[in-house]
Each structure stands twice: as structure tokens, then as C-alpha cells.
Chain A
Amino acid sequence: MPKLVGASALGAVLGLGLSPLGVEAQEYQVDLTRERRVSFLSDAPLEDFRGVTDRIDGFVYLEGEGLVGGTDLRASEFFFEVDLASLDTGIGLRNRHMRENYLETEDYPFASFSGRVGVLEGLGERRFSAEAVGELEIHGVAVERAIRCQVTTVGSGGRAAETSPGSDATNAPASSEGAPPLILRVQCAFPVSLSDHGIPIPKLMFMKIDEVMELELDFHLQAVAEEGK
């Protein structure tokens, strides 16, 4: 089980003042009981194919009131990883080629994305737009990326946040219940260049894979209680 330590409490104890917004914090981790889908599309001239897996895990931490109130995004944190050997393209031989020839999953079994939430904007009732800023590591090569995701509250609580212009902090009104949402659905789509991550493409054979893959992520986050609460 992931071990999540409350930063606010830690900050309060150490007097470091990590959160200028109080001792509240929201933390979420991937809900393994709900549908998860990570897919890529290779749109090569001779052959399109899609690889799919549900093996994504990770967490998001929001300082302060997070989605339902003021939050200091500079203190936010997230980490996600995808089990690359579980990707299924529909053809076993192609899966093996992908694992052994391109992703080299024996050496680099996971792709990960870690960093902080750079921007959090309300898009309306129960919908947010979040820009995740950090390092996307695939094939052992980390690349700085800013990836825009759409977040929808599925569980209780949660209303659109309001962005303070010129600031990366948000001040969102509390929900009618005054409680943070329990379940969030996260959807992202972004391109990944294989050459950016040092993934070789065979030159001698047909160009069977696209140099740029379109990645799509769709998964749920579930609020978790801080230790000691």
C-alpha cells in the first residue's frame, strides 16, 4: 500500500510553513477498483495499431483546500507510473517486439510522470482543467513536459475552482457540502515523440511504428485519508 504522509501536519510539526493556506490537504491515489485505461495510437502509413493497458497507478497531492478552496499549487505533487510490459496491442508478436525492441521493458519496466500541478482552472460545475508539469520518463529518458488534463468530479462535493490571474494558486469556492470530492476522473491526451526518449525505430524493415505516438489516459482518483486522521 502507498504510504502517504501528511505534509501539512509534518510542516506544522517542523514549523516549516509548507502551506500558507492552513493545515488542510487533499490527497488522491489511483482508484484500482474503477476503470483505468492508458492507450497509445501508432498512426503509421502502412499500419495503425493501438496499445492498451489498465496498469496505471499513482497519486496527486494538493495543499490546502485543493479543488474546493484555496491551494498553493507550488506545494502540490503528483506521481504516476504505467506498467509498460502490460501494454497489449492485440497481437502477441507485436507485443513482444514492442517490449523487447522498442521499450526494452526488462530494463525500463515503468513509464512515469512526476511533478506538480502547474495550473488548475475551473471549467464549470464539477469540471476542472489541470496542467501537470514535470518529468515524463519513458525508456529511462526523462523529458520536461506540461500536460493538460481534464478532471471531473464523480464522487461527492467539488465545484469549479477560480483561478487568480497571474498566479499559479487557485481559490475555489467550497462545495455545498464543504467537502472535497471523493472521486475524480482524469482524462489526458498528448503526443510523445519516441526519439525524445531514445526509443529506436527499425530502419531496415517496414516503418511499422509511428515516430510520434498519441497517448490517452483515462482513470479515476480516489481521496485517501491522511495517516493519523
Chain B
Amino acid sequence: MRKGPILVRASATCLALALISSVPTLVAQDTPRRWERRAEATSPPVTIFHATQVINLPTAETLSRGEWQFEIAHRFFPPVSEGQEGFWGLDGPAFMRLGLGYAFSQNAMVTLARSNFLDNWDVQAKLRVFESGSGPFPLHAAIQAGAGWSTSVGDRDASDSGNFQYYGQLVLNTRLGDRLALGVVPSYLYNVLLDSIDPVQDLYWGFYGQLYLTEMMSIMGEANLGENRAELENDTGSLGLELETGGHFFKVFLTNSVRLNPSQFLVGSSYPFEPEEWRLGFSITRLLRF
């Protein structure tokens, strides 16, 4: 007695399924064209650090070909610990740096900069030499070489050979997860003490990290360790905040170094990296294309 209704229900179910399964076919017939993509989506370049330098030390990042980068940076002499009397150091005086960079290719850029400390001119070239894939630990490597020319050293003639310094840096960057970028920068500096008679050379080790809190805000820290020379017996360290827009980086930080150009910064600081000796510094970069 129950067999009949079961068969009826089964038949109805089969019919319903057949109708349902025919719907896509009818839709497909209403759609006379079937599109198959001819090229996959572009794979964007892997980014580790967003800017070309953290605070003082370079990253393996370069500008895009044809891009210019204007930079202005300050290091204030008075420590923040002076408080309101010196407006936390912002009353100055300050050392400053103006720089202009340009990328000849997607992986190479040059920068010309001037600092008012010893009226130092700096020219440098950076070449990104290695990029790994987009795995969990991407690796970027770059080499940077430059020359510093201090044109106002005591009573010397500006062209005195002792006023020239040369440096080379290897930059290794990686990223842990999506937000933490890390870097190591061994640096070599020739004529550390601006001595024309007996120039000395030193090797330094730079370390830095940057944590990208949001798409536009990050915190960063760096340290540069090396030979302790007279009056520059302290290694340097900096801690700061970076904001970025589509064309700017704004960095503000605390540091024990008031020197800006690489050949000057690398040699160390006369101030220890202790809170009462921290100075305010900032840099603003603007990317341009003409």
C-alpha cells in the first residue's frame, strides 16, 4: 500500500532534481559566450620595509624607476629632558639635512644630501641586488656605497684629502609575518676621524626593526654598534614613529645621535643612549615624479 506513494514521491523528486539540474544548462544557453582569462592578475612586488631608510640606516627598498625623493631632516641639540624650558629640545639649535634621491631603474637609486654639520656633502648609490619570493620569510638585499665631503673642518682647505670619507654598506632585510620587518646593516667606513695623515677605517653593525601597526602607522627602532672612538664613545640608538601617506613619510623619533649624513652618523655619539640624553629628531620625505 505504501509502495505506490513512495514511488510517486521518488518520481517527483527525480523530476524536480532534473528540472533543477537543467536550470544551469538553460542559463548557459542564454549566455552565448564563455570567457576564459588570457592573462593572470599582476603579482605586485613584495614589500618588506616601506621607506628607503628606517631612521638613519638604509633599507633594501629603492624608489620606483623615474621617481624622485626629497628629504628634510632635523636633529635637535638640547635633550628632551630639558623640558619646557627648552621646549623639549625643539627650541634648538639643530643639525639638519636636505637630500634629493632619484631612481634610474627599478632597483637602483642615487641620493645627494647636505648636512650643516661640518657642511658635509654626501653622495650615495644603492642597488637592490637580491629579492626572494613572497614566502613567509622574504629576503631582500642591497648594497649601498657613498662618499662624504666635509667642507668646513677647522682651518683646513675644503679640498683637503682628510675631508673625504668613503663608506660601503650591505643591507639585509626580512619580514616576520605580515607586520614585523627586520634588518641588518654591516657598514664599512674609511677615514673615520677625518684625519688626512693617518686615516683609520672601521666596521659597524646596524640592526633595526619596524612594526607596522596599521597600513599607515608603524613604530621602529635601530641601533648601530661599532668601535668606540674618543669623544664618540657611544653606540647610537633611536626609537620612533612613522606615518606614511601615498607620497610622504613622516618620522619622529628619540635618539642619542645628532649626526645625519651616513659618514657622520656611523662613527657614534658623544651622548649615551639613556633617556636623559635622548634628543628629538624628525624627517619628512616626499616622493615626486616630473
Do A and B actually bind? yes
A residues engaging B (CB < 8 A)? 1-7, 10-11, 14, 16, 18, 25, 27, 32, 47, 49, 55, 57-59, 61, 75, 77, 79, 81, 83-86, 89-101, 105, 109-110, 202, 204-206, 208-209
Contact indicator B246/A110 (Cβ below 8 Å): no
Choose from A49, A89, A205 the contact partner of B243 (Cβ within 8 Å): A205
Distance from B101 Cβ to chain A, minimum over Cβ atoms (Å): 13
Contact indicator B33/A93 (Cβ below 8 Å): no
- The answer to whether residues A77 and B216 also contact, given A55-B42, A83-B39, A92-B63 and a CB cut-off of 8 A, is no
Contact indicator B63/A7 (Cβ below 8 Å): no
Chain A residues near B66 (CB, 8 Å)?
90
Contact indicator A2/B41 (Cβ below 8 Å): no
Choose from A1, A91, A208 the contact partner of B64 (Cβ within 8 Å): A91
- Report how far A84 CA is from B44 CA in the complex, Å: 10
Whether B21 is near chain A, meaning CB under 8 Å from some CB there, is no
Contact indicator B32/A91 (Cβ below 8 Å): no
Main secondary structure, interface of A, reads mixed
List 18 additional contacts besides A105-B44, A204-B216; criterion CB under 8 Å.
A3-B35, A3-B36, A57-B38, A59-B33, A59-B35, A77-B32, A79-B33, A81-B37, A85-B43, A90-B289, A91-B246, A92-B67, A93-B244, A93-B247, A94-B246, A95-B44, A105-B41, A205-B243
Choose from A18, A77, A94 the contact partner of B247 (Cβ within 8 Å): A94
A-B CB contacts (within 8 Å), total count: 108
Among B4-53, those with CB < 8 Å from A are 29, 31-39, 41-44, 47, 50
Chain A residues near B36 (CB, 8 Å)?
1-3
Distance from A20 Cβ to chain B, minimum over Cβ atoms (Å): 14
Whether B245 is near chain A, meaning CB under 8 Å from some CB there, is yes
- The answer to whether residues A7 and B33 also contact, given A105-B41, A110-B41 and a CB cut-off of 8 A, is yes
- Report how far A5 CA is from B35 CA in the complex, Å: 10
Contact indicator A93/B39 (Cβ below 8 Å): no
Chain A residues near B63 (CB, 8 Å)?
92
Contact indicator A27/B42 (Cβ below 8 Å): no
Chain A residues near B125 (CB, 8 Å)?
none
Chain A residues near B216 (CB, 8 Å)?
101, 202, 204-205
Contact indicator A16/B247 (Cβ below 8 Å): no
Whether B287 is near chain A, meaning CB under 8 Å from some CB there, is yes
Contact indicator A79/B35 (Cβ below 8 Å): yes
Whether B155 is near chain A, meaning CB under 8 Å from some CB there, is no
Among B176-224, those with CB < 8 Å from A are 215-216
Contact indicator B32/A55 (Cβ below 8 Å): no
- Report how far A79 CA is from B243 CA in the complex, Å: 40
Q: What would 19 A/B residue contacts be, using CB atoms closer than 8 Å? A: A1-B38, A2-B34, A2-B38, A7-B33, A10-B32, A18-B29, A55-B39, A57-B38, A57-B39, A61-B33, A79-B33, A83-B39, A85-B43, A93-B244, A93-B247, A98-B246, A109-B41, A204-B216, A209-B246
